[in-house]
Amino acid sequence: MKKENILAFIRTKIHAVISTCGDSHSPEAALIGFGETNDFELVFGTFTTSKKYKNLQENPKVALVIGWDEEYITVQYEGIATEIFGQEREKLVELYHKKVPSAAGYHNHPEQTYFKIIPTWVRYSDLSGEEDKIYEFDF
């Protein structure tokens, strides 16, 4: 299994469950829409009033699960989330909205902001056959 194969799988999904935990807040898991770059970076939007945003201000480490349906294939993804601004934000938000057009409706909301996640570890699990196929990559 190559990283490119995992990226191809990620590209077929528009939702993930993200988990965050701040220093003074309880853990939170939430469904998000996301976009991805060729470098395995993920992009998503959230409101500055959300629990996830408050957690990320205190602790940028995140964990995500992508895929969980009848395919029995998932990607576990850990990384560091950073809020994005300026030209980088414009470029990545365009990519995100192209993949998840419904998210564009929140773009002009005064509380809307965007994050980029840089991967630190990815695990691909295919449990659909007689033999499990599990591959891990450090970044």
| pLDDT digit string, tens, across residues 85-125 | 999 999 999 999 999 999 999 999 999 999 999 999 999 99
Q: What domains are defined for the chain? A: 3-138 (2.30.110.10)
**CB of 78 within 8 A of CB of 59?**
no
**What tokens does 38 get?**
């060729």
How much of the chain is helix, strand and coil, in % rounded to 5? 25, 40, 30
In the chain, % of residues over pLDDT 70? 99
- The whole-angstrom separation of Cα 115 and Cα 92 is 9
**CB of 129 within 8 A of CB of 107?**
no
Among 74, 79, 66, CA closest to 39: 79
- The whole-angstrom separation of Cα 121 and Cα 36 is 15
* Amino acid in the structure at residue 13: K
pLDDT band, residue 13 (cuts 50/70/90): very high
